[in-house]
Protein backbone atom coordinates (compact mmCIF):
# COMPACT_ATOMS: atom_id res chain seq x y z
CA UNK A 1 0.00 0.00 0.00
CA UNK A 2 2.68 2.51 1.02
CA UNK A 3 4.87 1.60 -1.97
CA UNK A 4 1.99 2.15 -4.42
CA UNK A 5 1.14 5.49 -2.78
CA UNK A 6 4.73 6.72 -3.12
CA UNK A 7 4.91 5.60 -6.75
CA UNK A 8 1.70 7.45 -7.59
CA UNK A 9 2.87 10.64 -5.87
CA UNK A 10 6.26 10.53 -7.58
CA UNK A 11 4.62 10.02 -10.97
CA UNK A 12 2.58 13.15 -10.22
CA UNK A 13 5.81 15.11 -9.89
CA UNK A 14 5.95 15.24 -6.09
CA UNK A 15 9.12 14.65 -4.06
CA UNK A 16 8.25 11.99 -1.49
CA UNK A 17 9.81 8.81 -0.09
CA UNK A 18 8.64 5.82 1.92
CA UNK A 19 10.35 7.33 4.94
CA UNK A 20 8.16 10.43 4.56
CA UNK A 21 5.02 8.30 4.55
CA UNK A 22 5.99 6.48 7.74
CA UNK A 23 7.10 9.66 9.51
CA UNK A 24 3.86 11.49 8.59
CA UNK A 25 1.26 8.85 9.30
CA UNK A 26 -1.90 10.94 8.80
CA UNK A 27 -3.12 12.32 5.48
CA UNK A 28 -3.07 15.84 6.92
CA UNK A 29 0.55 15.55 8.08
CA UNK A 30 1.71 14.18 4.73
CA UNK A 31 -0.21 16.88 2.85
CA UNK A 32 1.42 19.53 5.02
CA UNK A 33 4.87 18.14 4.27
CA UNK A 34 4.26 18.12 0.52
CA UNK A 35 2.84 21.64 0.64
CA UNK A 36 5.84 22.97 2.53
CA UNK A 37 8.23 21.35 0.07
CA UNK A 38 6.45 22.91 -2.87
CA UNK A 39 6.99 26.35 -1.33
CA UNK A 40 10.63 25.89 -0.42
CA UNK A 41 13.12 28.00 -2.33
CA UNK A 42 16.19 26.30 -0.84
CA UNK A 43 18.13 23.84 -2.99
CA UNK A 44 16.93 20.23 -2.83
CA UNK A 45 18.98 17.57 -1.09
CA UNK A 46 20.42 14.84 -3.24
CA UNK A 47 17.50 12.72 -4.41
CA UNK A 48 19.19 9.61 -3.00
CA UNK A 49 19.65 11.13 0.49
CA UNK A 50 16.93 10.49 3.09
CA UNK A 51 17.47 12.64 6.22
CA UNK A 52 15.99 10.30 8.83
CA UNK A 53 17.43 12.11 11.87
CA UNK A 54 19.57 15.21 11.41
CA UNK A 55 20.22 16.00 15.09
CA UNK A 56 22.94 14.58 17.32
CA UNK A 57 26.52 15.37 18.28
CA UNK A 58 28.18 12.22 16.91
CA UNK A 59 29.28 11.47 13.37
CA UNK A 60 26.33 10.37 11.21
CA UNK A 61 25.49 6.80 10.32
CA UNK A 62 24.62 6.20 6.67
CA UNK A 63 22.18 3.35 6.01
CA UNK A 64 22.40 1.90 2.50
CA UNK A 65 19.28 0.70 0.65
CA UNK A 66 18.58 -3.01 0.36
CA UNK A 67 17.82 -5.15 -2.69
CA UNK A 68 14.46 -3.58 -3.58
CA UNK A 69 15.96 -0.07 -3.47
CA UNK A 70 13.26 1.10 -1.07
CA UNK A 71 13.86 3.14 2.08
CA UNK A 72 11.14 1.79 4.37
CA UNK A 73 13.54 0.28 6.91
CA UNK A 74 15.55 3.48 7.46
CA UNK A 75 13.16 5.15 9.95
CA UNK A 76 12.11 1.80 11.43
CA UNK A 77 15.71 1.02 12.40
CA UNK A 78 16.83 4.56 13.22
CA UNK A 79 14.28 4.96 16.02
CA UNK A 80 16.16 2.22 17.93
CA UNK A 81 19.64 3.67 17.35
CA UNK A 82 21.22 6.03 19.90
CA UNK A 83 19.43 9.39 19.51
CA UNK A 84 22.76 11.24 19.63
CA UNK A 85 23.70 9.69 16.27
CA UNK A 86 22.36 11.43 13.14
CA UNK A 87 21.02 8.90 10.64
CA UNK A 88 20.78 9.32 6.87
CA UNK A 89 19.44 6.82 4.38
CA UNK A 90 20.90 6.27 0.93
CA UNK A 91 18.06 5.17 -1.33
CA UNK A 92 17.97 3.40 -4.67
CA UNK A 93 17.69 4.99 -8.09
CA UNK A 94 14.08 6.18 -8.54
CA UNK A 95 11.79 3.87 -10.49
CA UNK A 96 11.60 4.69 -14.16
CA UNK A 97 15.15 6.01 -14.37
CA UNK A 98 18.05 4.12 -15.92
CA UNK A 99 19.25 1.52 -13.41
CA UNK A 100 22.99 1.06 -12.92
CA UNK A 101 24.25 -2.49 -13.44
CA UNK A 102 27.41 -2.73 -11.29
CA UNK A 103 28.17 -2.42 -7.59
CA UNK A 104 30.96 0.02 -8.37
CA UNK A 105 28.65 2.42 -10.22
CA UNK A 106 25.94 2.13 -7.58
CA UNK A 107 28.46 2.98 -4.88
CA UNK A 108 29.91 5.94 -6.76
CA UNK A 109 26.41 7.37 -7.16
CA UNK A 110 25.92 7.43 -3.38
CA UNK A 111 29.29 8.96 -2.49
CA UNK A 112 28.37 12.52 -3.46
CA UNK A 113 25.21 12.32 -1.35
CA UNK A 114 27.21 11.23 1.69
CA UNK A 115 29.82 13.93 1.21
CA UNK A 116 27.14 16.62 0.92
CA UNK A 117 26.39 15.88 4.59
CA UNK A 118 29.88 14.90 5.75
CA UNK A 119 32.66 16.12 3.43
CA UNK A 120 35.38 14.02 5.06
CA UNK A 121 35.74 10.95 7.26
CA UNK A 122 35.79 9.08 9.47
CA UNK A 123 32.64 7.59 7.92
CA UNK A 124 30.09 5.16 9.34
CA UNK A 125 28.15 2.84 7.02
CA UNK A 126 25.67 0.03 7.46
CA UNK A 127 23.36 -1.95 5.21
CA UNK A 128 21.02 -4.91 5.36
CA UNK A 129 21.59 -7.89 3.03
CA UNK A 130 22.42 -6.46 -0.43
CA UNK A 131 22.79 -3.06 1.24
CA UNK A 132 25.68 -4.37 3.32
CA UNK A 133 27.55 -5.42 0.20
CA UNK A 134 26.97 -2.00 -1.33
CA UNK A 135 28.16 -0.35 1.90
CA UNK A 136 31.33 -2.45 1.64
CA UNK A 137 32.00 -1.21 -1.90
CA UNK A 138 31.38 2.40 -0.82
CA UNK A 139 34.00 1.89 1.90
CA UNK A 140 36.45 0.49 -0.66
CA UNK A 141 36.03 3.61 -2.79
CA UNK A 142 36.35 5.95 0.19
CA UNK A 143 39.61 4.28 1.16
CA UNK A 144 40.78 4.79 -2.41
CA UNK A 145 40.21 8.52 -1.87
CA UNK A 146 42.36 8.41 1.29
CA UNK A 147 39.25 8.90 3.44
CA UNK A 148 38.91 7.06 6.75
CA UNK A 149 36.05 4.62 7.32
CA UNK A 150 35.62 3.72 10.97
CA UNK A 151 32.54 1.48 10.81
CA UNK A 152 31.03 -0.95 8.31
CA UNK A 153 27.97 -2.76 9.64
CA UNK A 154 26.79 -5.72 7.56
CA UNK A 155 23.28 -6.73 8.63
CA UNK A 156 23.08 -10.43 7.75
CA UNK A 157 25.02 -9.82 4.53
CA UNK A 158 26.47 -13.00 3.11
CA UNK A 159 29.67 -13.08 1.11
CA UNK A 160 28.47 -13.15 -2.55
CA UNK A 161 30.24 -16.41 -3.42
CA UNK A 162 28.39 -18.04 -0.53
CA UNK A 163 25.06 -16.84 -1.97
CA UNK A 164 25.00 -18.36 -5.45
CA UNK A 165 22.97 -15.79 -7.36
CA UNK A 166 24.15 -17.18 -10.69
CA UNK A 167 25.00 -14.82 -13.53
CA UNK A 168 22.68 -16.65 -15.91
CA UNK A 169 19.73 -15.96 -13.63
CA UNK A 170 20.24 -12.21 -14.04
CA UNK A 171 20.71 -12.20 -17.81
CA UNK A 172 18.97 -9.00 -18.88
CA UNK A 173 17.15 -10.72 -21.76
CA UNK A 174 15.15 -13.02 -19.49
CA UNK A 175 15.59 -11.80 -15.92
CA UNK A 176 12.44 -9.64 -15.70
CA UNK A 177 10.17 -12.55 -16.63
CA UNK A 178 12.03 -14.93 -14.33
CA UNK A 179 11.90 -12.45 -11.46
CA UNK A 180 8.16 -11.91 -11.90
CA UNK A 181 7.58 -15.65 -11.54
CA UNK A 182 9.83 -15.76 -8.47
CA UNK A 183 7.80 -12.98 -6.82
CA UNK A 184 4.61 -14.93 -7.50
CA UNK A 185 6.02 -18.17 -6.15
CA UNK A 186 7.40 -16.56 -2.98
CA UNK A 187 4.04 -14.97 -2.24
CA UNK A 188 1.98 -18.15 -2.63
CA UNK A 189 4.43 -20.37 -0.76
CA UNK A 190 4.45 -17.91 2.14
CA UNK A 191 0.66 -18.17 2.27
CA UNK A 192 0.84 -21.90 2.99
CA UNK A 193 -2.05 -23.94 1.57
CA UNK A 194 -2.38 -22.37 -1.88
CA UNK A 195 -2.04 -25.48 -4.03
CA UNK A 196 -4.33 -24.17 -6.76
CA UNK A 197 -2.32 -20.97 -7.24
CA UNK A 198 0.99 -22.86 -7.26
CA UNK A 199 -0.35 -25.30 -9.84
CA UNK A 200 -1.45 -22.35 -11.98
CA UNK A 201 1.98 -20.81 -11.59
CA UNK A 202 3.63 -24.03 -12.75
CA UNK A 203 1.49 -23.97 -15.91
CA UNK A 204 2.62 -20.42 -16.55
CA UNK A 205 6.26 -21.34 -15.94
CA UNK A 206 6.06 -24.17 -18.48
CA UNK A 207 4.95 -21.75 -21.21
CA UNK A 208 6.99 -18.70 -20.19
CA UNK A 209 9.31 -18.73 -23.22
CA UNK A 210 6.33 -18.06 -25.49
CA UNK A 211 5.63 -14.64 -23.94
CA UNK A 212 7.27 -11.27 -23.65
CA UNK A 213 6.97 -9.52 -20.26
CA UNK A 214 3.55 -7.98 -20.92
CA UNK A 215 2.21 -11.26 -22.26
CA UNK A 216 3.58 -13.21 -19.30
CA UNK A 217 2.00 -10.78 -16.85
CA UNK A 218 -1.37 -11.11 -18.58
CA UNK A 219 -1.01 -14.91 -18.65
CA UNK A 220 -0.35 -14.87 -14.88
CA UNK A 221 -3.55 -12.87 -14.39
CA UNK A 222 -5.62 -15.20 -16.55
CA UNK A 223 -4.30 -18.30 -14.76
CA UNK A 224 -4.89 -16.87 -11.27
CA UNK A 225 -1.17 -16.99 -10.47
CA UNK A 226 -0.65 -13.27 -9.81
CA UNK A 227 -0.60 -12.24 -6.12
CA UNK A 228 -3.30 -9.71 -5.13
CA UNK A 229 -0.60 -7.18 -4.20
CA UNK A 230 0.54 -7.07 -7.83
CA UNK A 231 -2.91 -6.92 -9.42
CA UNK A 232 -3.10 -3.13 -9.19
CA UNK A 233 0.20 -2.53 -11.00
CA UNK A 234 0.18 -1.55 -14.64
CA UNK A 235 2.58 -3.41 -16.90
CA UNK A 236 4.90 -0.40 -17.00
CA UNK A 237 4.85 0.12 -13.21
CA UNK A 238 5.63 -3.53 -12.51
CA UNK A 239 8.40 -3.56 -15.12
CA UNK A 240 10.01 -0.54 -13.46
CA UNK A 241 9.71 -2.10 -10.00
CA UNK A 242 11.32 -5.34 -11.14
CA UNK A 243 13.88 -3.53 -13.31
CA UNK A 244 15.55 -2.04 -10.24
CA UNK A 245 15.75 -5.43 -8.52
CA UNK A 246 17.08 -7.08 -11.68
CA UNK A 247 19.80 -4.43 -11.94
CA UNK A 248 20.79 -5.06 -8.32
CA UNK A 249 20.82 -8.81 -8.87
CA UNK A 250 22.99 -8.41 -11.96
CA UNK A 251 25.36 -6.13 -10.04
CA UNK A 252 25.74 -8.56 -7.15
CA UNK A 253 26.19 -11.61 -9.37
CA UNK A 254 29.05 -9.92 -11.23
CA UNK A 255 30.78 -8.30 -8.26
CA UNK A 256 34.27 -9.28 -7.14
CA UNK A 257 34.99 -8.62 -3.45
CA UNK A 258 38.45 -7.30 -2.65
CA UNK A 259 39.95 -7.01 0.84
CA UNK A 260 39.96 -3.72 2.73
CA UNK A 261 41.53 -2.60 5.99
CA UNK A 262 38.39 -1.74 7.98
CA UNK A 263 37.02 -4.16 10.60
CA UNK A 264 33.65 -5.58 9.57
CA UNK A 265 30.85 -5.74 12.12
CA UNK A 266 28.70 -8.72 11.10
CA UNK A 267 25.22 -8.56 12.65
CA UNK A 268 24.15 -12.15 12.06
CA UNK A 269 20.60 -13.47 12.47
CA UNK A 270 20.58 -16.39 14.89
CA UNK A 271 17.67 -18.15 13.15
CA UNK A 272 18.55 -19.70 9.81
CA UNK A 273 16.02 -19.87 7.03
CA UNK A 274 15.51 -23.29 5.39
CA UNK A 275 17.46 -22.27 2.26
CA UNK A 276 20.30 -20.57 4.13
CA UNK A 277 23.77 -21.84 3.29
CA UNK A 278 26.00 -23.12 6.05
CA UNK A 279 28.90 -20.93 7.11
CA UNK A 280 31.55 -20.70 9.81
CA UNK A 281 29.78 -17.91 11.70
CA UNK A 282 31.24 -15.11 9.58
CA UNK A 283 28.77 -15.35 6.66
CA UNK A 284 31.61 -16.35 4.36
CA UNK A 285 33.62 -13.16 4.86
CA UNK A 286 36.48 -15.11 6.43
CA UNK A 287 37.31 -16.29 2.90
CA UNK A 288 38.39 -12.73 2.01
CA UNK A 289 39.40 -11.09 5.28
CA UNK A 290 41.37 -12.40 8.27
CA UNK A 291 39.17 -13.49 11.17
CA UNK A 292 40.84 -10.88 13.36
CA UNK A 293 39.26 -8.19 11.20
CA UNK A 294 35.73 -9.58 11.68
CA UNK A 295 33.39 -8.80 14.58
CA UNK A 296 30.51 -11.28 14.78
CA UNK A 297 27.43 -10.02 16.64
CA UNK A 298 24.42 -12.31 16.99
CA UNK A 299 20.96 -10.73 16.75
CA UNK A 300 17.49 -12.19 17.21
CA UNK A 301 15.34 -13.34 14.30
CA UNK A 302 16.00 -14.66 10.82
CA UNK A 303 17.09 -12.76 7.72
CA UNK A 304 13.69 -11.09 7.33
CA UNK A 305 12.29 -10.90 10.86
CA UNK A 306 15.43 -9.21 12.23
CA UNK A 307 14.22 -6.05 10.48
CA UNK A 308 10.73 -6.21 12.00
CA UNK A 309 9.31 -5.80 15.52
CA UNK A 310 10.18 -7.01 18.05
CA UNK A 311 13.67 -7.98 16.81
CA UNK A 312 14.54 -4.68 15.10
CA UNK A 313 14.76 -2.98 18.51
CA UNK A 314 17.55 -5.33 19.59
CA UNK A 315 19.32 -4.81 16.27
CA UNK A 316 19.27 -1.04 16.74
CA UNK A 317 20.65 -1.42 20.24
CA UNK A 318 23.42 -3.73 18.99
CA UNK A 319 24.43 -1.19 16.33
CA UNK A 320 24.46 1.57 18.95
CA UNK A 321 26.70 -0.50 21.22
CA UNK A 322 29.10 -1.33 18.39
CA UNK A 323 29.42 2.37 17.55
CA UNK A 324 29.93 3.25 21.22
CA UNK A 325 32.74 0.68 21.43
CA UNK A 326 34.72 2.19 18.54
CA UNK A 327 38.14 3.49 19.56
CA UNK A 328 38.38 7.25 20.00
89 with 232, same domain?
no
pLDDT bracket for residue 193 (50, 70, 90) = low
In this structure, what CATH number is given to the domain that contains residue 60?
Answer: 3.40.50.1820
219 with 317, same domain?
no
Give the start-end residues of each E strand in 98-174: 123-128, 149-155
Bigger pLDDT: 35 vs 285: 285
Report pTM: 0.81
How would you classify the pairing of strands 264-269 and 294-299? parallel
Q: Choose one of 227, 252, 277: the last residue of a domain.
A: 252
Residue 9 located in a structural domain? no
Q: Choose one of 197, 218, 252: the last residue of a domain.
A: 252
Q: Which domain holds residue 142?
A: 45-165+256-324
Please give the order of strands across the beta sheet that includes 264-269. 49-53, 87-90, 61-64, 123-128, 149-155, 264-269, 294-299
177 with 155, same domain?
no
Structural domains of the chain, count: 2
What is the rounded distance in angstroms from the CA atom of residue 129 to the CA atom of residue 170? 18
147 with 183, same domain?
no
Residue 134 has pLDDT above 90, yes or no: yes
Residue 206 located in a structural domain? yes
Q: Choose one of 223, 252, 281: the last residue of a domain.
A: 252
Residue 299 located in a structural domain? yes
pLDDT tens for residues 47-105?
A: 789 999 999 999 999 999 999 898 889 999 999 999 999 999 999 999 989 999 999 99
240 with 302, same domain?
no
pLDDT reported for residue 317: 98
Residue 203 has pLDDT above 80, yes or no: no
Residue 119 located in a structural domain? yes
95 with 234, same domain?
no
| Residues 143, 263 contacting (CB under 8 angstroms) | no
147 with 61, same domain?
yes
Residue 28 located in a structural domain? no
Amino acid sequence: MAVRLVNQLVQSGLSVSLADVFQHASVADLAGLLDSRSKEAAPQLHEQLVPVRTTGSQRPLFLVHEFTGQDVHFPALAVHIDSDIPVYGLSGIPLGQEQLQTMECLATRLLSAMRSVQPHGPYRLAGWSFGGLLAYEIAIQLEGMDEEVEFIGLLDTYMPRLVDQGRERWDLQTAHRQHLLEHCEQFWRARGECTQALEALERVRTNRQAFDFAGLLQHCREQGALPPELETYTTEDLWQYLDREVAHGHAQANYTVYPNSVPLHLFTAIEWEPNSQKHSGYLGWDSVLPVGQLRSIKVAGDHLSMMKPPHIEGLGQAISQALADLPD
